[in-house]
Amino acid sequence: MNEGGGLFWRSYAKLVGTAFLLVLVLAGAGYWPTVKLAGVEAVPAMIAGCLVSWLASCVGAVPLALAPFRPSTEQASSILISTGLRFLVVLALVAPIVLSGWFPRVVFASWVAMSYLPLLIVDTAFAIRLTKRLTTEQPNE
């Protein structure tokens, strides 16, 4: 892959921005229910849960963004690596935060889950677009 690299990195930047906007929308929509059910002190847990999912989404998409620079025989594994990396980042961030007691555990874990799933849709759309682009381009040998 030669000059198309910029296109893939622009796609990655678009994913990061889209995911962040989605997190803002989720947090905005969930602010009042969170305050109503768990109090104002639960808002930082909501924000932290959303940010953990967003960070996992951003890190998990890196193997997909790098796929065009790998040999064509290894490009398909980028999707699996991306999925596993995303999940590992969530586990690596959630476990210490939950065990630390910095935030109300139930609120934090709930928001990680509620933000993880919509961001997974954004990540999946990114993977599908990337796969379509990779299959239409010349193999990178």
pLDDT in tens, the chain (141 residues): 445 567 677 878 888 999 999 999 999 999 999 999 999 999 999 999 999 999 999 999 888 887 777 777 777 787 888 888 999 999 999 999 999 989 999 999 999 999 999 999 988 888 888 777 767 765 544
Cα atoms found within 13 Å of the Cα of residue 130, Cβ hemisphere only: 30
Q: Give the domain ranges of the chain.
A: 5-136
For 96, residues 6+ apart whose C-beta sits below 8 A from its C-beta are: none
**How much is the mean pLDDT over the chain?**
86
